[in-house]
Amino acid sequence: MMEALEVRFELRTPMIEPATVKSLDALLAWASVQRAHFHGHDDPWQEQHVTGIAVHRVGEAWCPMASALEIEWADTSQPIHYFKRQSPISYAEAWSNGLLKKRPYFDQKRGSTKAGSYVQSARWTRGVRAWAMVEDRPLFESLLPWVTHIGKLHHKDFGAVRSFQILPNEEAQSRWAQRTLPVGSLFATKQHVLSQAALVSPYWDRRNFRPVLSFCP
């Protein structure tokens, strides 16, 4: 039996203003992978869709029944300047210690090892909330404590979660659809537009891109 739930997060540090819509299931997918890695799972990425969230299907396409994050901002954005430094020694040590599956290719000018000077926009929030239809509540609840941060630069403690609440809310039966949906979904509204994107995490992986109905807040 599915439950209609609302999740509310309170943050203790400013959050980096996201450039794209973020969904609740993306947070829980990351949490599921982190927990699996902590417990020594052979392939933690296999657990990314094991979140307790129900699934919405249209033909062969599917997506989690979890909404985009609704962020209530408390002030205007403030620029944050930071340096990203890279050292070939640290990558060499990680490789020699068996922490990397592939031998790293180091290039300070591009790719994942790129160094540079960056500016992001940070804002305080009054709260972050989302809605979901959940089919395994114990699993769903067990993952939420693993959501320690929301947004970018979590390693610099931006978007740190102070607390969360899980509340029954029948609005979730429709509000979960405030997210990217499969083409042809009967839950689509005037706020959904045809685009190219991923329906499931990892949302950044362009190999997962396909025609979808993207939600425009």
Q: Is the pLDDT of residue 107 over 60?
A: no
Q: Are both 31 and 100 inside the same structural domain?
A: no
- Does 160 map to a domain? yes
Question: What pLDDT shows up at residue 217?
Answer: 86
Residue 203 domain flag: no
pTM listed for this prediction: 0.83
For residues 128 and 116, state if they share a domain: no
Name the residue range of residue 168's domain. 3-75+124-176
Q: What is the pLDDT of residues 11-58, one digit of tens each?
A: 999 999 998 899 999 999 999 999 999 999 989 999 999 999 999 999
Percent of the chain with pLDDT over 90: 71
Residue 8 domain-assigned (yes or no): yes
At 54, the amino acid letter reads: A
Looking at the structure, tell me whether residues 53 and 146 fall in a common domain: yes
What would the DSSP string read from start to end of 31-89? HHHHHHHHTT-S-GGGGTT-SSB-EEEETTEEEESBPBPEEEE-S--EEEEEEE---HH
Q: How many domains does the chain have?
A: 2
pLDDT: is 80 or 88 the higher one? 80
Together in a domain, 71 and 83: no
